[in-house]
Amino acid sequence: MDVLREELDLTGTKYGCGEGSCRACTVLVDGRPVASCQLAIAKVQGKEVTTIEGLAAGDKLHAVQEAFVAENAMQCGYCTPGMVLTAVALLRTNPKPTRAQIVEWMNGNLCRCNNYSNILRAIERAAELTQEAPAK
């Protein structure tokens, strides 16, 4: 996380608890959600690391980002990058998750604003959007 923020100026990755418990710092490593605060830089050598900055295609937001905006799934926005990246990984693994599967998958991501109902709706909407359009 420090390398991303301090050396690469990718500040979308947020420092939360520093213990990997809140998942605010989530990035995708080879498509899998990982708490970057607990990840040594040597562990990602030769792997693809995606931060929130890497999701959009130019000016076109990823379907999960679009759904988070449409459903007002962010209040302070601090947890949002980690939530979005975890949701992206979920939908790549399971494009049509049930609400229970969404809850189970997102369980480690904490929203201190308690905006969970909007987050759930956003992920459900993103699942619908990804069914309508080709996956990125």
Give the chain's domains with CATH numbers: 2-132 (1.10.150.120)
- What's CA 98's distance to the chain center, in Å? 18
Residue (of 66, 109, 74, 75) closest to 90 by Cα position: 109
Could you count the other beta carbons within 10 Å of the beta carbon of residue 80? 23
Q: Which residues make beta-bridge pairs with 57? A: 60
Indicate the pTM of the whole model.
0.93
pLDDT tens, position by position, 61-86: 999 999 999 999 999 999 999 999 99
For range 87-110, the mean pLDDT: 96
Cβ neighbours around 73 below 10 Å, total: 28
Q: Provide the strand spans (E) within the chain.
A: 26-29, 32-35, 49-50
Distance of alpha carbon 136 from alpha carbon 123, whole angstroms: 16
Distance from C-alpha of 119 to C-alpha of 59, rounded to nearest angstrom: 23
130 pLDDT exceeds 90? no
Residue 136, pLDDT > 80, answer no
pLDDT at 35 over 90: yes
* Section 11-31 average pLDDT: 94
